[in-house]
Structure 1
Amino acid sequence: MLKKILSISGKPGLYKLVSQGKNMLIVESLLTGKRVPAYAHDKVISLGDIAIFTENGEKPLGEVMESIKEKENGGVASVDLKGGDQVLRSYFGEILPDFDKERVYTTDIKKLLGWYNTLVEKGITDFIEPAVAEDATESGEKA
């Protein structure tokens, strides 16, 4: 599901991919429900393509959000997003203990938790792509 959820640089909130045009995407704001175009010159990134730096490489955003969901029993993040640097880093350390403390900034953590809260409030809680499970099943059938 995260592949169809987009972040657009310079525009607030998250957007759901609705359709594609010749040189643009039609997206729907998760906050307002309004549909707007996102043009080729806009910096658009799918949440499914984002990963968090760890000490041993990277961890996909979907897996990190799934960890938050388990910690919060499917509810919104219990940490205050306006809390200080140490509060946010401590909370994130409980979710992803091996996150790279030098390359993951507090602003990144705040943005990630904000995205998570928005998705949960809108009822989008399938953070890990089902295609991964299907691929594992297919490769199991071939063996």
Structure 2
Amino acid sequence: MNLEKILAISGKPGLYLLKVQTRSGFVAESLADGKKITVNLKSNVSLLSEISVYTYEGEQPLAEIMKKIAAKESNGPAISHKSDNATLAAYFKEILADYDEERVYPSDIKKILNWYNMIQAKGLVVDEVVAEENVVAETPSDTEAEAVAETQKK
């Protein structure tokens, strides 16, 4: 899952897609309503690709967790982030069995599931799976490569 250009902006609800960088900041588009906003460099902005979740063995990148959720849900929506804390913790335990329960709070789990559902609703989860399949389909097999090499020799 490519989270390189997806942003969380402190003080603003939802997620944003990075569109253009400017001298004084950047322009971002809301995933919720498509409105574009300008964000200055003083704003607290987090790239989703830079976020990790604590586990007992280290940290797990958010992209990997989102891939696990997508695999569990067959690229469909996850459970609602508005579920009770016990349900959310049990669901997250299925996704990431060794997450550090003392350092990962229910609010963190809610945020991750909310973000996943936003990204999934925009079709960004499916796009990567399709893109990966296209790359595999476009890569010629060894026998095809050998056949091309043989015709070029003649």
Gaps of 5+ in 2: 133-154
**TM-score normalised by the chain length of structure 2:** 0.80
CA contact (8 A) 2:80 2:114 kept: no
1:140 maps to none
Higher relative contact order (CA 8 A, sep 6+): 1
1:110 maps to 110
Provide the secondary structure at the position in 2 that maps to 1:64: helix
1:13 counterpart = 2:14: yes
Provide the secondary structure at the position in 2 that maps to 1:38: strand
Aligned mates of 2:16, 2:58 — CA distance in 1:
28
Q: Number of paired residues?
A: 127
**CA RMSD across the alignment:** 1.3
Provide the secondary structure at the position in 1 that maps to 2:111: helix
CA contact (8 A) 2:80 2:113 kept: no
Which one-letter code corresponds to 2:68 in the other structure?
A: S
1:95 maps to 95
2:152 maps to none
Please say which structure displays the higher CA radius of gyration. 2
1:85 maps to 85
Normalized per residue, the structure richer in helix is 2
Aligned mates of 1:2, 1:23 — CA distance in 2:
23
**TM-score normalised by the chain length of structure 1:** 0.86
Q: CA deviation at 1:41?
A: 1.1
Which one-letter code corresponds to 2:102 in the other structure?
A: E
Aligned mates of 1:80, 1:62 — CA distance in 2:
19
Alignment of 1:52-63 (within 5 A): 52-63=53-64
Q: CA deviation at 1:66?
A: 0.2
Identity percentage over the alignment? 45
Gaps of 5+ in 1: 131-143
Provide the secondary structure at the position in 2 that maps to 1:2: coil
